[in-house]
Amino acid sequence: MPFAKPTNEAAIRTVLSAPRSSTYVAATGGDTAKAVDLYGWNARISAALMLPSHFAEVSTRNAVSDALSTVYGPQWPWDNTFEKSLPCPNGRPYNPQRDLCQTRRRESTTGKVIAELKFAFWQGMLTARHDVRIWNHQILTLFPNAAGMTAEQLRRRIYDDLEAIRKLRNRIAHHEPIFSRNLGDDLMRILELIELRSTPTADWVFAMEEASSVLAERP
C-alpha cells in the first residue's frame, strides 16, 4: 500500500466531508495539505494492522475452542453445562449466553459457530469465572511461549491484549482516526499474542506484515 501524493486536497476534503476532515486539520495545526496526507496515512495503517490482528484473533479463538473441546467435547456449542456457565446479563449491550444460543441456531457445525461468535465472546472466555473449569490446567499448554508466567497471569494478559485489539478493530471498522493511539504498542501486543500461541505462525506474520513499515512513514 504505497504512499500517494494527493493532487487536489480541497476536492478530497469535500468528498470526505468537513466534519471528518476537521479532526485531521486540527491535528496538523490547520495545514490542510498535511491533513489530507495524515488522513491517507491513517487509512493505510488501519488496513495494514488488519492482517496481524486477523491472525491474533483467529489463533486465540481457536485456542479457546480447543480448551472448550477438552472440557465439554467437540460439540461444545450445544453443551447445556457450558451454556449455563456463561453470563446472561439482562439489559446489557452484549449477552454471551444469548450470542451462543442465537449463533448455534443459525449454524450447524462447531467450526461455523466459532467463525460467527462475536469478538466479545472470545474475550469474555478469558475471565476469572472460567479459571477452575478451563484455564488453570490448560492455558500454559495452549499458549506455550509464556515463559515465567502463571496460568492466572497469562489469562489476564491475553484478556488485556484482546481488549486493546478489540478497541483498535472497532475504530478501524468504523473508519475512525487511530493516529493518536500508541500504534507501535498496539502492533507489538498483536504480534506477541500470536507468538504466545505459535512461533511458526508468528514468524510467518512477521514476514508478511507491513504495519511496521507504514508506521515509520507517518507524515
DSSP string, 102-150: HHHHH-SSHHHHHHHS-HHHHHHTTSGGGIIIIITTTHHHHSTT-TT--
Among residues of the chain, what percentage have pLDDT more than 70? 98
Q: Is residue 82 part of a domain?
A: yes
Span 116-144, pLDDT tens digits = 999 999 999 999 999 999 999 999 999 99
Q: Is residue 87 part of a domain?
A: yes
**Rounded to 5°, angle at Cα 116 from 114 and 120:** 85
Residue 92's domain spans which residues? 50-209
Q: Would you say residue 9 has pLDDT above 90?
A: no
Q: Which residues are CB-contacts of 91 (< 8 A; sequence separation ≥ 6)?
A: none
159 pLDDT tier (thresholds 50, 70, 90)? very high
Q: Is residue 33 part of a domain?
A: no
Tell me, what's the pLDDT at 1?
Answer: 59
Q: Is residue 9 part of a domain?
A: no
Tell me, what's the pLDDT at 8?
Answer: 74
Task: Report the number of distinct structural domains present in the chain.
Answer: 1
Q: Is residue 165 part of a domain?
A: yes
Tell me, what's the pLDDT at 179?
Answer: 96
Q: Is residue 141 part of a domain?
A: yes
Rounded Cα distance, 51 and 3, in Å: 18
Indicate the SS3 state at residue 89.
Answer: coil
91 pLDDT tier (thresholds 50, 70, 90)? confident
Q: Is residue 195 part of a domain?
A: yes
Q: Would you say residue 195 has pLDDT above 90?
A: yes
Span 22-79, pLDDT tens digits = 999 999 999 989 999 999 999 999 999 999 999 999 999 999 999 999 999 999 999 9
Q: Would you say residue 192 has pLDDT above 80?
A: yes
Name residue 133's amino acid: R
Tell me, what's the pLDDT at 68?
Answer: 98
Q: Which helix (H) or strand (E) is 47 found in, with range?
A: helix 32-72
Q: Is residue 156 part of a domain?
A: yes
Average pLDDT over residues 172-199: 97
Tell me, what's the pLDDT at 26?
Answer: 94
